[in-house]
Structure 1
Amino acid sequence: MSAGVQDRPRTSDPRQGSFPIPLVGGWAPRRGLLVATVVSVIALVLAVVALGLGDLPLSPAEVVQALFATDGSFTSTVVRDWRLPRVLGALVFGAALALSGAIFQSLTRNPLGSPDVIGFATGAYTGALLALTVIGAGAVSASAGALVGGLLTAVVVYLLAYRRGMQGFRLIIVGIAVTAMLHAANLFLLLRAQEDVAMAAAIWGAGSIALLGWPALVPAMGGLVLCTPGLLLVPSLRQLELGDDAAAAHGVSVERSRIGLVLFAVALVAIVTASTGPIAFVALAAPQVARRLTGSAGIPLVSSAAVGAVVLLGADLIAQHVLPADVPVGIVTVVLGGVYLLTLLVHEARSR
């Protein structure tokens, strides 16, 4: 074993989390691959269960039969046209949010380095609010506004945080400050808007996939597919975890790779926010849960995406079928995220 592998560097700055950084981890070591497989199977089982729940209850066998039926029956219409877009959206959007969070947490080397905290999701919401309340646009323009708002927020945060290089802790602090200002701007826009527009924007801002159908899901998934070339930057991400000097020594263009990864991660969360509204805490919690399940030194991307899919679909099942009334899934994820943060704080207090 080479000396570089034996002496793995660890972050020592208390502001940056404190997880050790692997030399070159690949996407999934053996345990990580096992966890990703098991969690993906859980996601598949949850999807079948979700497709069978509703006013027309169906068994798993009936769900599978309806998915592949060609007779145009009412059952196949219910499963494929009414329920499948919501279930598929929960899986895909949960995975995209978790992947975005995993990238930001790896770049910042901090478990709080999430697009929720840094403000990119809030910026996407601001863009949608501007389109709805100022321009008076419809749903399509609001989605475009959310995408533009998220990307512009990323540019502003990056420029404000850049000082002869990028440090994760500075990015988080600047992001929190920008988030606070954007929250104030969002509240101002809602108070100034007409009542019906403000009500619709507030409901959308809670984060919901209840009305997600194929006309909205297909463009969103197309946008996510267009983002997939960003996965080519993952090897650079692993090198950046070693530190800027070590990454540069290995031939990585540090700032170019970092900017590309930031844009890729922001695009993921902006596309999801444009389709559903801001859904909090999935990007924050899923990567850390995946890291604990895999026992990985860094943030495992594949396992994070799988956990994110399970978290969002599970939260949507709670929102639909456990609570007394059907509520936006974003409300459930906020509650789950609050429990997660409390657990994290208690764990950190005990470890010290």
Structure 2
Amino acid sequence: MTVTSSTQWTVRSRSGRISVRLHRRTVWVAVVLVVLCCAVVLASLLSGNYPITMPDVFRALGGHGTLQQRYFVNDVRLPRVLVALLVGAALAVSGAIFQSLSANPLGSPDIVGFNNGAAAGALVSILLLKDSSLASTGVGAIAGGGAVAVLIYLLSYRGGVRGYRLILVGVGVSALLSAGIAYLLSRANLNEMLNAQIWLVGSLNGRSWEHVWILLAVLVVVLPSAFLLSKPLLTLELGPDSATSLGLPVGAVRRRAITVSVVLSAAAIVCAGPISFVALAAPQVAKRLARSVGPSLSISALSGGFLLAFADLVAQRLIPGSQLPVGVTTLVLGGLYLGWLLSGEMRRGRA
């Protein structure tokens, strides 16, 4: 049974035991973002140095067409755009959780050091252990991100954890990690250093179905836990004292939120490198589109997927005859967005 109002739909089961409230604006924004994601997937499948028409794309997807068409559509372009969508979704949800946790739009894994921690852990595996397999870099990224998360949490704990302390400590730790990453690169040979530098910028070149399945597995396992955190995080945004008075276990919620955020960031970094600013910008774009009070994780995931896939499409076609790493595009767009966000925070006296 569905009950409608001017702003939302309430869907109830026949027994009345289960009910879900759907805000109309959120639903329509989600529909538009899904359409945009489908459009950027189609554009990515059509785009490339090897020309393929739209009918041939659909024939290749169905297992027909020439061998070259099936190869470029099914084995090159489709895995790449799917990895972009999944990495963007993982980064956006991770950023939305941490921005809600810190109660600050500047709080995101790439600003406060979680991404640098995961990148440092992956580089230790690649440069020191000489193992660049996905399993090894994945373990290194999760270990590095987790260790940094624990360190930042402990350093910012003083009778409780405040959002501004978490961000300030995280920025300091991030600077130290950047120095450590630079040291690792300086000790590597030329080929290893060049490959690591490209990976550190963030790139989707050469991504395969193996990366798609890894990201899907992580998102299927972790996203339900993230969505279950939506209401506790909304309560936590009232402030730790108010949240505690309402019966929320603040410490446990924070630890769960940080764990989920680190795992999502690490999975994205392993498959695409530490792509910057998606985790910062996508949650804020989603919040403005949906006009939501708390973290809109589903809209954030769709926004992040579309933004990264669109940025990768631009990076591929911006300079004819060459492909830029997608991290270059996100750095330019994210830098402009960060400047705008900082100016807005300064006007409101919060930065």
User: How high is the TM-score relative to the length of structure 2?
Assistant: 0.87
Please give the alpha-carbon distance, in whole angstroms, between the structure 1 residues aligned to 2:137 and 2:98.
25
Please give the alpha-carbon distance, in whole angstroms, between the structure 2 residues aligned to 1:255 and 1:27.
28
Q: 2:142 aligns with which of 139, 143, 147?
A: 147
Please give the alpha-carbon distance, in whole angstroms, between the structure 1 residues aligned to 2:231 and 2:344.
31
Aligned partners of 1:101 and 1:265 also within 8 Å: yes
Please give the alpha-carbon distance, in whole angstroms, between the structure 2 residues aligned to 1:44 and 1:27.
26
Structure number with higher relative contact order (C-alpha < 8 Å, ≥ 6 residues apart)? 1
Asked whether 1:66 is paired with 2:60, we answer yes
Asked whether 1:330 is paired with 2:327, we answer yes
Q: 1:193 aligns with which of 184, 188, 208?
A: 188
The residue aligned with 1:13 is none
The residue aligned with 1:47 is 41
Asked whether 1:130 is paired with 2:124, we answer yes
> 2:293 is aligned with what amino acid?
A
- TM-superposed CA distance for 1:158, in Å, is 1.0
- TM-superposed CA distance for 1:204, in Å, is 1.1
1:258-277 matches, cutoff 5 A? 258-277=254-273
The Cα offsets for residues 62-84 of structure 1, whole Å up to 9 and x where unpaired, read as 32332223578442332111111
User: How high is the TM-score relative to the length of structure 1?
Assistant: 0.87
Unaligned runs of 5+ in 1: 1-25
The residue aligned with 2:281 is 285
Asked whether 1:305 is paired with 2:301, we answer yes
1:173-184 matches, cutoff 5 A? 173-184=168-179
- TM-superposed CA distance for 1:321, in Å, is 1.0
**Paired positions, count:** 327
The residue aligned with 2:214 is 219
- TM-superposed CA distance for 1:115, in Å, is 0.3
Identity %, equivalent residues: 43
How large is the RMSD of aligned CA atoms in angstroms? 2.0
- TM-superposed CA distance for 1:347, in Å, is 4.0
The residue aligned with 2:198 is 203
Aligned partners of 1:288 and 1:299 also within 8 Å: no
Aligned partners of 1:27 and 1:301 also within 8 Å: no
Asked whether 1:342 is paired with 2:339, we answer yes
Q: SS at the partner of 1:279?
A: coil
Aligned partners of 1:101 and 1:113 also within 8 Å: yes
Please give the alpha-carbon distance, in whole angstroms, between the structure 1 residues aligned to 2:51 and 2:143.
41
Please give the alpha-carbon distance, in whole angstroms, between the structure 2 residues aligned to 1:37 and 1:234.
20
> 1:158 is aligned with what amino acid?
Y
The residue aligned with 1:4 is none
Please give the alpha-carbon distance, in whole angstroms, between the structure 1 residues aligned to 2:222 and 2:88.
15
Q: 2:248 aligns with which of 248, 252, 261?
A: 252
Asked whether 1:78 is paired with 2:75, we answer no
The residue aligned with 2:26 is 32
Aligned partners of 1:290 and 1:307 also within 8 Å: yes
The Cα offsets for residues 208-232 of structure 1, whole Å up to 9 and x where unpaired, read as 1111101233223222322234232
Q: SS at the partner of 1:69?
A: coil
- TM-superposed CA distance for 1:127, in Å, is 0.6
Asked whether 1:319 is paired with 2:306, we answer no
> 1:109 is aligned with what amino acid?
A
The Cα offsets for residues 124-144 of structure 1, whole Å up to 9 and x where unpaired, read as 111111112222222332232
- TM-superposed CA distance for 1:345, in Å, is 3.6
> 1:306 is aligned with what amino acid?
L
Aligned partners of 1:123 and 1:146 also within 8 Å: yes
Unaligned runs of 5+ in 2: 1-19
Q: SS at the partner of 1:227?
A: helix
